Amino acid sequence: MTNPREATVTLQNAAERIVVAGDGRRLAVETSGAPDGPVVFLLHGTPGSRSGPRPRPVVLYRLGVHLVCYDRPGYGDSDRQEGRRVADAAADVAAIADALGIDRFAVVGRSGGGPHALACAALLPERVTRAAVLVGLAPAGAPDLDWYSGMTDGNVDDFGLADEDAAELKLSLTERARNAQRDPMTLLEVLRPQLSESDIRVVDDVTIRRLLTDMYAEALRHGPDGWIDDVLALRRAWDFDLGAIRAPVRLWHGEQDRFSPVAHSRWLADRIANAEVQVQPGAAHFGAVEILPQTLAWLTTPELATTPQL
């Protein structure tokens, strides 16, 4: 575990904290739910922040879950870690857990957070009890996988720039981040033509739309650095071995996902021991918001049969 002098906690209010990791970077952390319940780290998508969609506090209390969310470096109030790799998330999660006095915990990653959750499971095997990935991605260059097949043009363009022209990627995401700073609804408006009917139903819900726009606003409040670094990290080598994962893993995917196609979860399931894959017909990318309560129940109390709603 991290030396206590290398990871400290400063209270900002009852739910928000700043954890200082061993290299001096600040990580913005938010906790909610049952303080004495089993701990689950929720790793947000790309772009995203600690304020992303999650079950209401009453639902978390009903599940008995102590939920921990944090801004990946460069997002929200977390300092940037330029050149970071997906594997680096494990050290940050460990530093947060140490600072909060947490020994063992489960992890769940949504979309771009999925690979980061797998990094925690692979690199913190003595601490991660279970892991879940919702609409996640496989590694770049994954053998026997057409990585871009079925993916929206917008994602193909962004990830392609990550491979071919990082400077152009930075310009593109900087412009979008500036637009989102003025009005975070612009990110959803740009996505709308690429959404399936299932995703349109989810994002047209007033509560979920507000949660998404609040998340985007917080994620990009200080600029696009986290977004840029996420896209680059997802297309670089992840720097950990999927075969090292020993905790039970659940991979959930909406069958109609156009942003991270379902083939990615099937590829991961074939390469992770103790992995199960659930493909939900009629659901797509933003279905991950609706399935989160059920996933938290599986991560902490698998025998729980009911599925609370957001």
% residues pLDDT > 70 (the chain): 93
Task: Report whether 288 contacts 276 (CB < 8 A).
Answer: no
Residue 7: pLDDT band with limits 50, 70, 90 = very low
**To the nearest whole number, what is the mean pLDDT of the chain?**
92
Q: Does residue 308 belong to any structural domain of this protein?
A: no
Q: Helix or strand or coil: residue 66? A: strand
Counting the structural domains of the chain, the total is 1
Q: Which residue has the higher pLDDT, 111 or 2?
A: 111
Mean pLDDT of 19-24: 93
Look at residue 22 in the predicted model and tell me its pLDDT: 84
Q: Does residue 309 belong to any structural domain of this protein?
A: no
Q: Does residue 310 belong to any structural domain of this protein?
A: no
Q: Write out the residue range of the structural domain in which residue 111 sits.
A: 4-300
Task: Report whether 260 contacts 22 (CB < 8 A).
Answer: no
* CATH code of the domain in which 20 resides: 3.40.50.1820
DSSP 9: E
| Region of poorest pLDDT, from 52-66, 115-129, 268-282, 290-304 | 290-304
pLDDT above 50: residue 276 = yes
Mean pLDDT of 220-237: 98
Instruction: Give tens-digit pLDDT for 90-109.
Output: 999 999 999 999 999 999 99
Residue 5: pLDDT band with limits 50, 70, 90 = very low
Predicted TM-score (pTM) above 0.75: yes
pLDDT above 60: residue 239 = yes
Residue 12: pLDDT band with limits 50, 70, 90 = very low
% residues pLDDT > 90 (the chain): 90
Q: Where are the alpha helices (DSSP H) in 43-135?
A: 57-63, 88-99, 113-123
Look at residue 73 in the predicted model and tell me its pLDDT: 98
**Among 18, 24, 30, which Cα is nearest to 6's?**
24
Cα–Cα distance, 221 to 215 (Å, whole number): 10
User: Looking at this protein, which amino acid is placed at residue 48?
Assistant: G
Distance between start and end Cα atoms, the chain: 35
Q: Does residue 188 belong to any structural domain of this protein?
A: yes
Look at residue 169 in the predicted model and tell me its pLDDT: 98
Task: Report whether 108 contacts 134 (CB < 8 A).
Answer: yes
Cα–Cα distance, 211 to 203 (Å, whole number): 10
Q: Cis omega (within 30 of 0) on the bond before 47?
A: yes
CA 170 to chain centroid, in Å, comes to 21
Q: Does residue 305 belong to any structural domain of this protein?
A: no
Q: Where are the alpha helices (DSSP H) in the chain?
A: 57-63, 88-99, 113-123, 153-164, 166-182, 185-191, 197-203, 206-219, 225-235, 263-269, 287-300
**Among 255, 274, 256, 252, which Cα is nearest to 265's?**
252
pLDDT above 70: residue 11 = no
pLDDT above 90: residue 229 = yes
Look at residue 302 in the predicted model and tell me its pLDDT: 58
Instruction: Give tens-digit pLDDT for 26-51.
Output: 999 999 999 999 999 999 999 999 99
Mean pLDDT of 274-303: 93
Q: Which residues of 54-81 are buried (b: 16+ CB within 10 A; e: fewer)?
A: bbeeebbbbbbbbbbbbbbbbbbbbbbb
Q: What token pair was written down for 203?
A: 């994002």
Q: Does residue 306 belong to any structural domain of this protein?
A: no
User: Looking at this protein, which amino acid is placed at residue 243?
Assistant: G
